Amino acid sequence: MALNIINPGLSTSIQDLGRPGYFHLGIPIGGAMDRFSMRVANMLVGNSEDAAGLEAVFMGPEIEFTSDTAIAVTGADIPVMIDGVEAPSWTALAVSKGQKLSFGFLKTGARIYIAVAGGITTPEALGSRSTYPIGALGGIEGRNIAAGDALPTGSAGAVTIGASVPSTMHRMPATPAILRMVKGLYWHRLTEASGQQFLADEWKVAPEADRMGYRFRGGKTLEFVDREQPFGAGSDPSNIVDGCYSYGSIQVPGGTEPIVLHRDAVSGGGYFTLGAIISADMDYIGQLQPHTPVKFEAVSMDEALSARQERHKLLDAIRSELS
């Protein structure tokens, strides 16, 4: 069984839950930007949650199936079509040999997840099939999918066709999107007024938003407390002596436009970081379209951890719903 790619869409890649443990060598964790949606898509088709599927940005691909199988589409809100007939998303769908999956126009959200029963079984690189084009790792020879590719799939488990996840159990960002963050790292370098302003401002997603990082603009330029610039840090107050970045951390080059480092981020650099988006909200960022309004909300570590627990509980609830 294979997925024949007729049209890859705008930027569609094979992703699973990533390759943790190699960041100290400069290899990012990678994997689905919206892990929640990827997990649920896999659950719907009876896969293990870390099976590889497709992540499509803004536009869906067109795919032909070489045998009868089951698929599920989650993530962004977009019409799903089987041979031109609309089918529900967040639902286990039966497809027959020769049928084609295509998509209408994106309504909300940014990333579409497509799981197929048995998962995509391209070769693993460092324990993951996730595509990391910069390092030519994973995917199809390290790249995004292209027209003419035939993606191999594994053997399917048990699937309940028609099983679906109600919209109350989807997890998509609000408008404006609230991104919760834990202050830290170099927050102390900001003046108090500037720190307050950063949290009060409404930012907008910039067009420069991809798997490496999401950039935001529209808020006020940051103001820094005076300091003697350390040797090796450059003259700009937003520079630091090169340090390591945690994924989710918010760097602000020049003090003007915050960038949230995402799944394919570099592991370090010379910009100050003022905090990090909490794990539970990283999925939301993957669903933000350019120009979406965003506010950053500072939360305590306890709140960050309970948000993480809530996300786990929701996944547990979906598992029981589907079992």
Query: Which residues does 179 contact at the CB level (< 8 Å), separation at least 6?
Result: 260, 277, 281, 284, 285, 294, 295, 296, 297
The one-letter amino acid code at 273 reads: T
| Residue number, 137 or 163, with CB nearest to another protein | 137
Which position among 64, 308, 315, 322 is part of the footprint of another protein (CB under 8 A)?
308
Count the site residues for another protein by CB under 8 A: 47
> How crowded is residue 282: how many other Cβ atoms within 10 Å of its Cβ?
21
Pick from 126, 314, 315, 322 the residue near another protein by CB under 8 A: 126
Sites for another protein among residues 206-245 (CB under 8 A): 230-232, 241-245
- Of 244, 293, 295, nearest to 273 by C-alpha is 244
* Distance of closest approach, residue 49 Cβ to another protein, in angstroms: 15
Element (H, E) at 112: strand 108-116
* 21 counts as binding another protein under rule CB under 8 A: yes
Contact status: 200 vs another protein (CB under 8 A): no
Could you tell me if residue 183 is left (phi over 0), alpha (psi between -120 and 50 degrees) or otherwise beta?
beta
24 binds another protein (CB under 8 A): yes
Identify which of residues 81 and 266 has a Cβ nearer to another protein in the complex.
Answer: 266
Asked if 279 touches another protein (CB under 8 A), the answer is: yes
59 or 305: CB nearest another protein: 305
Q: Does 142 bind another protein (CB under 8 A)?
A: yes
Q: Which of 221, 222, 217 is nearest to 291 (CA)?
A: 217
Three-state SS for 53?
strand
Q: Does 254 bind another protein (CB under 8 A)?
A: no
Indicate the residue type of 232.
G
Interface residue list for another protein (CB under 8 A):
20-27, 125-126, 134-137, 142, 181-186, 188, 230-232, 241-246, 248-249, 266-269, 273, 275-279, 301, 304-305, 308
